Amino acid sequence: MAAVAAAERRLSFSNITALAPMVRVGTLPMRLLALDHGADVVYCEELIDIKMVQCQRVVNEVLQTVDFVAPDERVMFRTCEREKDRVVFQMGTADPDRALSVARLVEKDVAAVDVNMGCPKEYSTKGGMGAALLSNPDRIEAILTKLVNGVSIPVTCKIRILPSLQETISLVQRIEKTGVTAIGVHGRFKEERPRHPIHCDYIQAVAQAVSIPVIANGGSLDLVKTHADIAEFRRLTGASSVMLARAAMWNPSVFNSGGPLPVETVMEEYLKYAVQYDNHAFNTKYCLCQMLRDKVESPLGKRVQAAQTNAEISDAYGLSEFHQQIQEQLQSRRDALQGGDPSDCPVMDGDVTTMAVKFERRFYPPQITPKMCLLEWSRREKVEQPLYHTVQRSQDRSFQSTVTVAGKKYRSSQWEKSKKFAEQAAAIVCLRILGVPEGRVGEEDSGLVCKRKRERILNGATEKEQSKKRLIEMDVKQEAKNMETPVVPNGKHAEPGDVQQKTWKLLWFQMVNMHQVENQVTFLLSCRSSVRKSCCLNTNLQLLLFYHFFF
């Protein structure tokens, strides 16, 4: 009976419409929104095996999700019960053993696993992943065979077409023999981009050459603009199923058989999911900007670009009250969980007092830390300064620290990603046992860090940052001035293309450095208008800059 039930729950790829895997787009809010509007299956964004294999599976009882958390505490993949039977986990991999480790890690929380063999971007291909696998069929066979034999859920892959039809058919027939459940086919060659027309004849030939479901992909711009176009795309390709990327990114209600909804309505629906599931604000902005498209410079678009938190984005859409209600609900869950949580109860481990706490930097003001508070307390009480002893765990290189204060030892039972964080966690344990404020945001001023010193620290940091920004802004403006009338060795004025390779790179990285951002794509979207004003860029040059760095 159990086997029959499992077979009934097994995800089918026949006659389905799916949300295609898209980097930065296929996160939980977008996947849930696609399901709301009629998608049968949703793929997550491609996640790299090397990063995923380091993650820990964490049940997030506050958000009611399952999170896969990296050693640096970033949530690499978040899912929930609602999508469990319909979400496909797509990985980027070039190693059979690592692929299997990742598949087994997520196996209980997803409906299927997919191997990306079609991404032509350098970040994927340089590691032998994505489209680079197309030239290594032996590696493809090894990865897929390992996965099919190693997990209990369906295994699929997504490819691009090869230079010749015969090569493509030969590859998919070899893939079919590994035992995969379905094959996704993007109907473009590795070097082609969305502006190139899709090769429906190749997809049709593949569908005729294998007996497993073929999922056609790549028709968003040319062939699929509304739900009514999906059936025609399926007919043209002869495929069993269809997956949509850009058409769904621009308006996820494309899956709605009753016709698309106004994008303004869909954006609000998306934002509500982003708030409910604590989606990263930069990711929320990115997805909303994709939906705004040519309205990204509208008053609403500018407010979204300027926002730094989900609260500010919610305010732009008139959803501040909704955001506040969700925050209150989440806080109520936290309070309820902490009420029965033994983590706040000290436990003796030999002569060391331990508590299960972690240091989270966002809960403390800039330049104010638990270690600083503990040091000031020890000076006030005229005891020896805190002494920290830190060890590193070999299997995952995590750290744990023990602090000795007034002859007593304190330690967090949780391991941290760095020596500094481990020492901060130990200081928190000590301060909580002593009943001393630890410097958290909103905590009553303990007087440990005197007002003058606190202001000096904060003002010093602010002045330093402002000085750095002023210097970089001067460089940027000078570079923009130089770009207005560039001169080549023959004395003639150069065209923009003659100097863009050198100058644009310098200008861009100066701007990124000035704003201290890690995600350049999100940064570009969020400050495009200010870049235009600072650097006198016209629209064509902005697009050229965007294309140069990300395509």
The structure tokens listed for 375 are: 């040091």
Asked if the structure places residue 257 within a domain, the reply is yes
pLDDT in tens, 182-240: 999 999 999 988 889 999 999 999 999 999 999 999 998 789 999 999 999 999 999 99
pLDDT in tens, 324-341: 999 999 988 887 876 655
Q: What is the pLDDT of residue 478?
A: 58
> How many folded domains does the chain comprise?
3
Is 109 in the same domain as 160? yes
Higher-pLDDT residue of 511, 390:
390
Q: What is the pLDDT of residue 446?
A: 59
Q: What is the pLDDT of residue 417?
A: 85
Q: To which residue do tokens 């794509």 refer?
A: 521
Is 172 in the same domain as 292? no
Residues 477-482, mean pLDDT to the nearest whole number: 54
Q: Is 444 exposed, middle or buried (0-12, 13-18, 19+ CB in 10 A)?
A: exposed
| Angle in degrees, CA 301, 303, 305, rounded to 5 | 70
Helix (H, G, I), strand (E, B), or coil: what is residue 243? Answer: strand
Which structural domain, as residue segments, surrounds residue 278?
Answer: 264-340
Q: What is the pLDDT of residue 498?
A: 47
Q: Would you place residue 499 in the very low, low, confident or very high pLDDT band (cuts 50, 70, 90)?
A: very low
Asked if the structure places residue 39 within a domain, the reply is yes
Is 302 in the same domain as 423? no
Asked if the structure places residue 334 within a domain, the reply is yes
pLDDT in tens, 424-437: 999 999 999 999 99
Q: What is the pLDDT of residue 123?
A: 81
Q: Would you place residue 365 in the very low, low, confident or very high pLDDT band (cuts 50, 70, 90)?
A: confident
The mean predicted confidence, pLDDT, of the chain is 84
Residues 26-38, mean pLDDT to the nearest whole number: 98
Is 314 in the same domain as 387? no
Is 218 in the same domain as 234? yes
Catalytic residue among 44, 55, 119, 527: 119
Pairing of strands 65-69, 214-217: unpaired
Is 74 in the same domain as 220? yes
Is 78 in the same domain as 219? yes
- Give the CATH number, domain containing residue 232: 3.20.20.70
Q: Which of 371, 400, 434 is the last residue of a domain?
A: 434
Q: What is the pLDDT of residue 9?
A: 67
Q: Are 251 and 264 in contact (CB under 8 A)?
A: no
Residues 82-88, mean pLDDT to the nearest whole number: 97
In whole angstroms, how large is the CA radius of gyration of the chain?
Answer: 27
| Angle in degrees, CA 166, 170, 173, rounded to 5 | 140
Q: Would you place residue 95 in the very low, low, confident or very high pLDDT band (cuts 50, 70, 90)?
A: very high
Q: Would you place residue 169 in the very low, low, confident or very high pLDDT band (cuts 50, 70, 90)?
A: very high
Give, in order, the Cα–Cα distances in Å from 25 to each of 43, 82, 164, 169: 10, 18, 31, 31
Is 172 in the same domain as 233? yes
Q: Which of 318, 340, 362 is the last residue of a domain?
A: 340
Residue 394 phi/psi, 5-degree rounding, is -70, -35
Is 49 in the same domain as 127? yes
pLDDT in tens, 530-551: 444 444 444 444 544 444 444 3
**Those residues with Cβ within 8 angstroms of residue 358's Cβ, 6 or more apart along the chain or in another chain:** 412, 414, 416, 421, 425
pLDDT beyond 70 at 96: yes
Q: What is the pLDDT of residue 531?
A: 43
Q: Are 514 and 473 in contact (CB under 8 A)?
A: yes
Residues 523-530, mean pLDDT to the nearest whole number: 46
Q: What is the pLDDT of residue 4?
A: 42
Q: Which of 261, 287, 320 is the last residue of a domain?
A: 261
pLDDT beyond 50 at 487: no
Question: Could you give the CA distance from residue 326 to residue 7 in angstroms, rounded to a whole number?
Answer: 38
Is 252 in the same domain as 276? no
Asked if the structure places residue 540 within a domain, the reply is no
Q: What is the pLDDT of residue 326?
A: 94
pTM: 0.67
Higher-pLDDT residue of 263, 507:
263
Q: What is the pLDDT of residue 41?
A: 98
Whether 535 sits among the annotated catalytic residues: the reply is: no
Q: What is the pLDDT of residue 512?
A: 46
pLDDT beyond 70 at 127: yes
* Sign of the torsion formed by the C-alpha atoms of 55, 35, 16 and 83: positive
Asked if the structure places residue 50 within a domain, the reply is yes
Question: Could you give the CA distance from residue 471 to residue 460 in angstroms, rounded to a whole number?
Answer: 17
- Give the CATH number, domain containing residue 419: 3.30.160.20
Is 86 in the same domain as 220? yes
Is 62 in the same domain as 168? yes
Strands in 352-355's sheet, in edge-to-edge order, are 347-349, 352-355, 408-412, 399-405, 387-392
Residues 68-75, mean pLDDT to the nearest whole number: 88
Asked if the structure places residue 481 within a domain, the reply is no
Asked if the structure places residue 389 within a domain, the reply is yes
Q: Is 275 exposed, middle or buried (0-12, 13-18, 19+ CB in 10 A)?
A: buried
Q: Are 185 and 234 in contact (CB under 8 A)?
A: no
* Sign of the torsion formed by the C-alpha atoms of 25, 31, 36 and 41: positive
pLDDT beyond 50 at 491: no
Q: Would you place residue 445 in the very low, low, confident or very high pLDDT band (cuts 50, 70, 90)?
A: low
Asked if the structure places residue 488 within a domain, the reply is no
